[in-house]
């Protein structure tokens, strides 16, 4: 870090100032005369697991355990209970193996005690005095990161119909014609493929359409080993589709969800939040082990307002434990998500709910960086095809469709009552 450290040094402040000014994916190991710690980046995009009893830590569980111990300590009951074979995962520091823990972002691992300690946030996030300045900060930080990666000459950026990839595109307006964009032609991704093609034609982008390929049984098992059997899902099945990116740096859009209040549905700043409610919002089963772990995670955070608490929950219980449990699933690719940085997250969280709801942060960033990109709708066709897609999705997953209708109905009822009350 290039700074002196002694017994009087406030290590937390020092780390925050000198390490968390960086964006990108990293793990930071601190060793001083009186402290040995491991820190993750702002969202733990390089995952780490540890065995407190053995005093050991590693990228993934297979690196901690011999093959016989890996099989013996596999918690089949918890694996089934959290529906990992479907779309579940292990939040709150849990893993698929008894005694193995996952380090969540915003915590460091004390290597002397093998205990984790929360180091961020240190208090409520102050509301931005200038909303436009906060948005400018996000755009500038993200642009600089993308430009630095692009200059390597070996980067590829995702291009879909979604929010975050549109924001990333806006941030590289000055050099977008030089960027290598890609979309996977996966089943069910017709909107992404169509909209990415339209964006490429309208704005002169170089876009590759990657063929959809499925892994065989051996390939899926190898993928699961690399993630410690902590998740499954479509990435496990379709990972051969992105093998053309081997040897390249993949620029992804993870992190923007923090600015969108992803878990806020039916919530205000004073909404009561408990462990069961968080698990429900994560769409996971009410398993007693999970409830106990989430309750322990929740206790030190209960003094925060409900919306910030839900943002931290999404960051730590979902992103850190699901999205980035896949950190090492593609060992021949390097993935960097430019929206993941302390500066970006602090700026997003500093904006009030009135700005952040309804994708407000994303839209403001795009309007500031490249407003013409909004001439093509985000996450919808903008015509009759949207109704066709909704009908197809409902037939494909009726339970999800019913849940979504109920959620939207509750939101509309709440808005109606609020209007009447005012």
For the stretch 81-140, pLDDT in tens is 999 999 999 999 999 999 999 999 999 999 999 999 999 999 999 999 999 999 999 999
Is the model's pLDDT at 23 over the cut of 80?
Answer: yes
Q: Are residues 114 and 237 in the same domain?
A: no
Question: What pLDDT is recorded for position 398?
Answer: 66
Q: How confident is the model at residue 404 (pLDDT cuts 50, 70, 90)?
A: low
Q: Are residues 73 and 111 in the same domain?
A: yes
Is the model's pLDDT at 364 over the cut of 70?
Answer: yes
| Contact indicator for 345, 258 with CB cutoff of 8 Å | yes
Question: What pLDDT is recorded for position 393?
Answer: 76
- Reported as type and span, the H/E element at residue 209 is strand 206-211
Q: State mean pLDDT over 368-386.
A: 94
Q: State mean pLDDT over 153-175.
A: 97
Is the model's pLDDT at 165 over the cut of 70?
Answer: yes
- Rounded-to-integer distance, Cα 317 and Cα 303, Å: 18
Identify the domain boundary among 118, 153, 176.
118
For the stretch 319-340, pLDDT in tens is 999 999 999 999 999 999 999 9
Examine residue 105 and state whether it is found in any structural domain, yes or no.
yes
Q: Are residues 53 and 202 in the same domain?
A: no
Q: Are residues 327 and 355 in the same domain?
A: yes
- Reported as type and span, the H/E element at residue 223 is helix 217-226
Cis peptide before 416 (omega within 30 of 0): no
Q: How confident is the model at residue 401 (pLDDT cuts 50, 70, 90)?
A: low
Strand duo 49-51 + 101-102: pairing: antiparallel
- Rounded-to-integer distance, Cα 408 and Cα 207, Å: 35
Q: Are residues 351 and 403 in the same domain?
A: no
- Rounded-to-integer distance, Cα 110 and Cα 117, Å: 7
Burial of residue 119, with CB atoms counted within 10 A of its CB: 0-12 exposed, 13-18 middle, 19 or more buried: middle
Q: State mean pLDDT over 293-320.
A: 97
| Contact indicator for 162, 378 with CB cutoff of 8 Å | yes
Examine residue 166 and state whether it is found in any structural domain, yes or no.
yes
Token pair belonging to 70: 């890996």
Identify the domain boundary among 118, 142, 160.
118
- No. of H helices and E strands in the chain? 16, 12
204: helix, strand or coil? coil
Q: Which of 396, 398, 83, 413 is nearest to 265 (CA)?
A: 413
Q: How confident is the model at residue 411 (pLDDT cuts 50, 70, 90)?
A: very low
Identify the domain boundary among 91, 118, 145.
118
- Rounded-to-integer distance, Cα 300 and Cα 118, Å: 9
Is the model's pLDDT at 196 over the cut of 70?
Answer: yes
Query: Where does residue 247 fall: left (phi above 0), alpha (psi -120 to 50 degrees), or beta otherwise?
Result: left
Examine residue 33 and state whether it is found in any structural domain, yes or no.
yes
Q: Which of 218, 196, 191, 217 is nearest to 207 (CA)?
A: 196
Examine residue 278 and state whether it is found in any structural domain, yes or no.
no
Is the model's pLDDT at 399 over the cut of 80?
Answer: no
Which residue intervals of 233-384 are DSSP H helices? 234-238, 275-281, 288-298, 306-313, 342-350, 353-356, 360-369
Q: Please, which contacts does 367-373 make with residues 24 or more away whose CB atoms are closer than 8 Å?
A: 368/132, 368/135, 368/136, 368/139, 368/170, 369/139, 369/143, 369/167, 369/170, 369/171, 369/173, 370/169, 370/170, 370/173, 372/203, 373/166, 373/169, 373/170, 373/199, 373/203
Q: Cα 300 vs. chain centroid, distance in angstroms?
A: 22
Q: What is the pTM of this model?
A: 0.90
Q: Which of 110, 8, 12, 126 is nearest to 57 (CA)?
A: 110
Question: What pLDDT is recorded for position 392?
Answer: 78
Examine residue 417 and state whether it is found in any structural domain, yes or no.
yes
Q: How confident is the model at residue 247 (pLDDT cuts 50, 70, 90)?
A: very high
Q: Are residues 141 and 23 in the same domain?
A: no
Q: What is the residue range of 399's domain?
A: 390-422
Q: State mean pLDDT over 172-197.
A: 96
Q: Which of 165, 173, 170, 224 is nearest to 189 (CA)?
A: 165
| Contact indicator for 333, 250 with CB cutoff of 8 Å | yes
Q: Are residues 68 and 146 in the same domain?
A: no
Q: State mean pLDDT over 263-276.
A: 93
| Contact indicator for 224, 252 with CB cutoff of 8 Å | no
- Rounded-to-integer distance, Cα 46 and Cα 327, Å: 6
The CATH code of the domain that includes 212 is 3.40.50.620
- Rounded-to-integer distance, Cα 218 and Cα 72, Å: 21
Question: What pLDDT is recorded for position 5?
Answer: 67
Examine residue 123 and state whether it is found in any structural domain, yes or no.
no
Q: Are residues 229 and 144 in the same domain?
A: yes
Task: Classify residue 181 by its DSSP letter.
Answer: E
Diameter of the chain measured on Cα atoms = 66
Give me the number of domains the chain comprises: 3
Q: Cα 213 vs. chain centroid, distance in angstroms?
A: 24
Examine residue 277 and state whether it is found in any structural domain, yes or no.
no
Q: State mean pLDDT over 252-281.
A: 94
- Rounded-to-integer distance, Cα 56 and Cα 105, Å: 18
Q: Are residues 147 and 200 in the same domain?
A: yes
Lowest mean pLDDT among 11-15, 38-42, 394-398: 394-398
Q: Are residues 105 and 219 in the same domain?
A: no
Side-chain-side CA neighbours of residue 233 (13 Å)? 14
Q: Are residues 106 and 53 in the same domain?
A: yes
Q: What is the mean pLDDT of the chain?
A: 92
Examine residue 179 and state whether it is found in any structural domain, yes or no.
yes
Q: Are residues 105 and 249 in the same domain?
A: no
């Amino acid at each position: 870090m290039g700074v002196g450290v002694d017994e009087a040094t406030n290590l937390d402040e020092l780390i925050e100032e000198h390490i968390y000014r960086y964006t990108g994916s990293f793990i930071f190991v601190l060793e001083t005369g009186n402290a040995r710690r491991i820190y993750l980046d702002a969202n733990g995009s390089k995952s780490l697991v540890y065995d407190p009893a053995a005093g050991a830590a590693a990228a993934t569980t297979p690196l901690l355990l011999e093959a016989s111990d890996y099989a013996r300590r596999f918690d089949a009951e918890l694996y089934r209970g959290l529906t990992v074979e479907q779309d579940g995962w292990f939040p709150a520091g849990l893993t698929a193996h008894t005694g193995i823990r996952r380090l969540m972002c915003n915590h460091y691992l004390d290597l002397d005690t093998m205990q984790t300690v929360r180091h961020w946030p240190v208090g409520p996030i102050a509301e931005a005095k200038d909303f436009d300045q906060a948005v400018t900060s996000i755009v500038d930080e993200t642009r600089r990161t993308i430009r630095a990666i692009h200059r390597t000459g070996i980067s590829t950026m995702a291009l879909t119909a979604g929010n975050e990839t549109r924001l990333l595109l806006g941030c590289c307006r000055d050099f977008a014609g030089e960027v290598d964009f890609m979309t996977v032609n996966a089943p069910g991704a017709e909107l992404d493929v169509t909209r990415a093609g339209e964006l490429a034609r309208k704005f002169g982008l170089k876009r590759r359409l990657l063929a959809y390929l499925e892994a065989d049984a051996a390939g899926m098992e190898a993928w699961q080993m690399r993630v410690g059997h902590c998740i499954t899902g479509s990435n496990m099945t379709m990972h051969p589709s992105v093998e053309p990116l081997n040897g390249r740096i993949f620029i992804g859009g993870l992190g923007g969800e923090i600015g969108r209040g992803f878990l806020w549905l039916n919530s205000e700043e004073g909404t009561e939040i408990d462990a069961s409610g968080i698990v429900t919002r994560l769409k996971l089963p009410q398993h007693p082990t999970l409830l106990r772990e989430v309750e322990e995670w929740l206790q030190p955070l209960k003094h925060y307002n409900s919306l910030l608490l839900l943002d931290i929950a999404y960051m730590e219980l979902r992103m850190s434990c699901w999205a980035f449990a896949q950190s090492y699933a593609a060992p021949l690719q390097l993935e960097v998500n430019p929206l993941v940085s302390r500066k970006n997250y602090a700026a997003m969280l500093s904006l009030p709910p009135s700005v952040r709801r309804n994708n407000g942060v994303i839209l403001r960033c795009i309007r500031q960086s490249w407003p013409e990109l909004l001439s093509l709708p985000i996450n919808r066709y903008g015509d009759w095809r949207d109704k066709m897609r909704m009908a197809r999705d409902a037939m494909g997953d009726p339970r999800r469709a019913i849940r979504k209708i109920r959620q939207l109905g509750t939101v509309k009822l709440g808005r109606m009552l609020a209007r009447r009350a005012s």
